[in-house]
Amino acid sequence: MPELDGLRGLAALAVMLGHALWTFAPITEAVTTGFKDGPLWVNVLTYTPLHFFWLARESVAVFFILSGFVLARPYLDLPATARSYLPYYCSRFIRLLPPCWAAIVFATVVESVAFCSQGDVASTWLGYYAAPKLLADTLAHASLITEAPHVLPVLWSLRWEILFSLLLPLYVWVLYHVRSPVANGWLALMCLVATATGMVCRSDLLEYMPMFMIGGALNHLSAQSFRSRYGQTLAWAVMVVATVLLCGEWCVRGMSSDRQAIGVARVLAVLGAAGTVFSATACEGFRQLLTGGVVQWLGRRSFSLYLVHFPIVIAAALLSAGRNLPLTVVVGVAGSIAAAEAFFWLAEYPSLQFAGYVKRKVTALSGNG
C-alpha cells in the first residue's frame, strides 16, 4: 500500500520540521509554556492550522496507528491454526534494532564533532539537548527497552514500537474476535478512553499502547466499500475533519488556556491520526498525493530520516546559537535529507535485506517442518 508509505514520509518530515523550529527561543516558549507575547508570526505558526506542517507528537501517533494497521493486517484473515509468528519475530527486530544502533553511533559522532556546551544559546530547549552526553548513559539505554539513549531522544517512540511488536499476537487475537462494526467501534472507543486515561494519569504505557489497537481496528473498515457507498465527497470531508482534529490542540491553545479543553483536543488528535490513516486509503485525491514521486521517496526514507535528523538539526541550530531560524531550517533540513539518503543505503537497506532473507529462510524451514 504505497499511500501508507507516503503518509509515513510526510509524518517524518513534520517531525523533522518540528524539531528544527523548536530550537528557536520564541517558538520554544510558545510550544512549552503557551507564551503569546512573542512575534506575531510565531503565534500564527503555532496557534493556527499552520501547525499541521510541523506536528511532532501527533505525527508519532500516526506512526503508531500505521504500525498497528500494517502489522496486524496479514493475520486477520487467517484462522489461529494458520498463523505463524516465528518468521515475523525473527525478521522484525532485525528490521528495527540495527538501524537504531547505527543511528546512535551516528548521533554520537555528530555530537562529538559539532556540539559544544554553549551557555549563550537562545533557547533553553536547544541548550538542554546540545549539552554533552555521557557515553555510559547512551550504552545503558541502547536496548531501547527502558528509555531512549540521551544522545538520540527521538528513539523514545521505538520503545513502544518494540513492545507492540512483541505483543502483536495478542493484538491480533483481540482484533480477530472483534469483527462486527458495532464491536469494532466499541473497541476503538475503549482504546481512545484508555489513551485519554493515560494522558491524565501520565502513564505512557496506557497512553500509547492503545493507539496500535486503534490502527489494527481500521483493518475492519473497507476503504473500497466506503468509496463505493459514500463517494469521494464524504472521503474528502473525513480527511478535512481528521486534519482539523490533528492540529486542534494548538488551535485551542491559541484561544484558551483551559486545561480541560486542551486535554480534550489532545485526545481528539488521536482520532484525527486514525482518520488520516483511513483517509490515505479512502480519499483518492489524498492517495494520489501520497503516491507521488517525491512523497514516495520520503516514505521509503522515512525511518532513516526519523533516526538521523535530530543531531543534524541541533548542530545546524548551534551555528547561530539558536538565533537564526532560517539558517537552522535550511541547513538542518538539507543536511537531514542528505544524511537520510546515505543512512538508508548504508544501514537501513542492508537491515531490510537481511530481515527479508531471514524471514524467507525461517518460513521455508517452518514449512518443511
Average pLDDT, the chain: 91
CA separation for the pair 225, 135 (Å, rounded) = 53
- Calculate mean pLDDT across residues 252-278: 93
| 311 touches 106 (CB < 8 A) | yes
Q: Name the pLDDT band for 369 (thresholds 50, 70, 90).
A: very low
What pLDDT does 257 receive?
86
Of 369 and 278, the structure prediction assigns the larger pLDDT to 278
What pLDDT does 235 receive?
85
Q: Is 138's pLDDT higher than 80? A: no
Calculate the alpha carbon distances from 294 to 13, 16, 297 in Å: 12, 16, 5
Q: Is 119's pLDDT higher than 50? A: yes
Query: For the segment 297-344, what is each residue's pLDDT rounded down to a tens digit?
Result: 999 999 999 999 999 999 999 999 889 999 999 999 999 999 999 999
Instruction: Name which of 78, 312, 31, 323 is nearest 88 in CA terms.
Output: 78
CA 289 to chain centre: 19
Q: Is 19's pLDDT higher than 60? A: yes
Q: Name the pLDDT band for 143 (thresholds 50, 70, 90).
A: confident
**Residue 197, CA atoms < 13 Å, CB-side half-sphere:** 10
Q: Name the pLDDT band for 188 (thresholds 50, 70, 90).
A: very high
Which pTM was predicted? 0.94
- Calculate mean pLDDT across residues 28-35: 86
> What region, left, alpha or beta, does residue 35 occupy, with left being phi > 0 and alpha being psi -120 to 50 degrees?
beta
CA separation for the pair 311, 156 (Å, rounded) = 15
What pLDDT does 367 receive?
65
Least confident segment among 108-117, 249-258, 334-343:
108-117
- Report the SS3 class of residue 266: helix
CA separation for the pair 281, 61 (Å, rounded) = 17
Written as nine digits, the cell of 191 is: 482504546
Q: At what angle do helices 204-217 and 259-282 cross, to 10 degrees?
A: 30
Q: How many CB atoms lie within 10 A of CB 58?
A: 25
Q: Is 239's pLDDT higher than 70? A: yes
What pLDDT does 56 receive?
93
Which residues are CB-contacts of 305 (< 8 A; sequence separation ≥ 6)?
Answer: 9, 12, 13, 16, 298, 336, 337, 340
CA separation for the pair 263, 341 (Å, rounded) = 38
Query: For the segment 51-97, what is each residue's pLDDT rounded down to a tens digit?
Result: 999 999 999 999 999 999 999 999 988 877 778 899 999 999 999 99
CA separation for the pair 201, 189 (Å, rounded) = 18
Instruction: Name which of 245, 263, 244 is nearest 197 in CA terms.
Output: 263
Q: Is 352's pLDDT higher than 50? A: yes
- Report the SS3 class of residue 3: helix
